[in-house]
Amino acid sequence: MKHQLKQIFHSPKFVVGFVIFVVMLSAAIFYPLISSVSPLQSIAKANFIPPGRYINVQDAVESTNKVLMELDVVSERVSAALSASDKEKMIVWLEEYGGVEAGTLSADNIEELLEAWYAKYDPNTRFEGMLTSTSKEYQRMNTRVSNVLSQNGVIIAEMVDGELVKSSTTVRSQDFVGVKDIPNQFYFPLGTDNFGRDVLTQMTSAIGTSLRLGLVAGLVATAIGLTLGLLAGYVGGIIDNVITFITNLFTVIPGFVLLILISYSISQTTRGVNVVAVVIGLTAWPWTCRSVRSQVISLRNRDHVNLSKLSGHSLVHVVVFDVLPYIASYVVMALILQISSAILAEAQLSMLGLGPSTTKVATLGLMMNWAQTSSAWQLGAWWAFLPVIASIALVSFSLNLMNTGLDQVFNPQLRDS
């Protein structure tokens, strides 16, 4: 056993897959524990908040202000108000209608661009050939920039005896506060989803749930396939014929189609994570059964098996102690592949709306379904689905890489080559 473990951890592919899997599993276990919010807790009213650190505005206003005189905050504010396409449109207008020589202005130099814009642009002038919609767009852009430039300070009002009274506090454009001085702040490394929930906390929890689902489905599929494969391969005869017939019947019917039909027939209220895992396991056992059967057929006439039968050992004893140890490594590899396949199958079912129906836990497939139904792709909220896709790919990749490494260790043909 010690020698086999040493061989396994000398396989580069297994080690890489194992490290990736351990990192994903550790994140799934520990990050939800240290997170300040629960995985499915809605903490924002706005949908799809971009990744970043968010501070309480009231705390920022009431904190001790520091005036930074050397910073050009106006240019930064204008740059934030104008997108890259807005700046390009301004350059196009200045070159076509403002008489500015082509190539002299750059979107990176906001000061020169604004200087030329206010020197040349007149919102009341209409040019021949310009569409009304284009003219209105330029007017809105000019108004947006003018509003930003006109904000010399923000006046704070207080409610006194039912009336708003100007406060002595005025927030100027060069007032800054230290982030450490603000008690209420949240950091969303991957933003929030369409329900205002922290994507990273939700995703790490979903990884753990998907791994649990894959393990349950893998154990069910491997247990059924192993049991039927051992019986068919060792006993033979009519039992072998019946099991082979059932296996071929399940093989002919596409597994995913059968999985969809079974999931659809189950009531939505009872279609929890464990139920979906069992359903996936009940439809994924045939190829394990066929493979185990072929392995056992090659072992049942070996000398040590015949000797055990001549010694009067029961069928169960012979199968468990004289046949199963020789295919144990193959069973482990089959289990790993079943776990990977089950995670992918759950993601496919959830994308079709047939996955686990639960509001208590999340799975990677359910997160993909939520992102799809809320049009995250069309809204540009990449953080709601790209990290989930990467997590599914990494988990599946790590498990398959581990399986390939084990195959190279235990398969004589691959080991010799």
Fold (topology level) of 2-43+198-416: MetI-like fold (1.10.3720)
* Angle, helices 273-283/324-351, rounded to nearest 10 degrees: 120
What is the pLDDT, as a whole number, of residue 315? Answer: 80
Give the mean model confidence (pLDDT) for residues 128-138. Answer: 80
Q: Where do the structural domains in the chain lie, given as residue ranges?
A: 2-43+198-416, 55-69+152-186, 73-148
**CA 257/CA 53 separation, integer angstroms:** 45
In this prediction, residue 153 has a pLDDT band, given cuts at 50, 70 and 90, of low
pLDDT over 90 (residue 182): no
What is the pLDDT, as a whole number, of residue 108? Answer: 79
**To the nearest whole percent, how much of the chain has pLDDT over 70?**
93
What is the pLDDT, as a whole number, of residue 28? Answer: 92
Tell me what the pLDDT averaged over the chain comes to. 84
Q: In terms of Cα–Cα distance, which of 190, 104, 127, 148 is closest to 388?
A: 190
Q: In terms of Cα–Cα distance, which of 210, 150, 170 is closest to 395?
A: 210
> 46 vs 200, which has greater pLDDT?
200
The string of pLDDT tens digits covering residues 311-355 is: 877 888 888 888 888 888 889 999 999 999 999 999 999 988 888
Token pair of 386, please?
């790209």
What is the pLDDT, as a whole number, of residue 212? Answer: 94
The string of pLDDT tens digits covering residues 260-305 is: 888 888 877 788 889 999 999 998 899 899 989 988 888 888 888 7
In this prediction, residue 151 has a pLDDT band, given cuts at 50, 70 and 90, of low
**CA 41/CA 188 separation, integer angstroms:** 13
> 73 vs 179, which has greater pLDDT?
179
CA end-to-end distance (rounded Å), the chain: 23
Q: Are 175 and 155 in contact (CB under 8 A)?
A: no
Q: Are 293 and 229 in contact (CB under 8 A)?
A: yes
**CA 190/CA 33 separation, integer angstroms:** 17
The string of pLDDT tens digits covering residues 365-400 is: 999 999 988 888 888 899 999 999 999 999 999 999
Q: Looking at the whole model, is its pTM more than 0.85?
A: no
In this prediction, residue 217 has a pLDDT band, given cuts at 50, 70 and 90, of very high
> 37 vs 399, which has greater pLDDT?
399
